[in-house]
Amino acid sequence: MVSTPQFQAETSARGEFVRQEYSIRDRITADGSSGFPAEAGRYHLYVSLACPWAHRSIIVRRLLGLEDVISMSVVDPIRDERGWAFRDGPGY
Domains defined along the chain, listed by start: 8-85 (3.40.30.10)
The number of helix segments (H) and strand segments (E) in the chain equals 1, 2
What is the tens place of the pLDDT at every residue in 9-59?
A: 778 888 888 877 777 677 887 788 888 888 888 989 999 888 888 999 999
Report the run of H or E that residue 46 belongs to, with start and end: strand 43-48
Positions annotated as catalytic residues are 51
> Would you say the pTM of this structure is higher than 0.85?
no
Coil, strand or helix at 8: coil
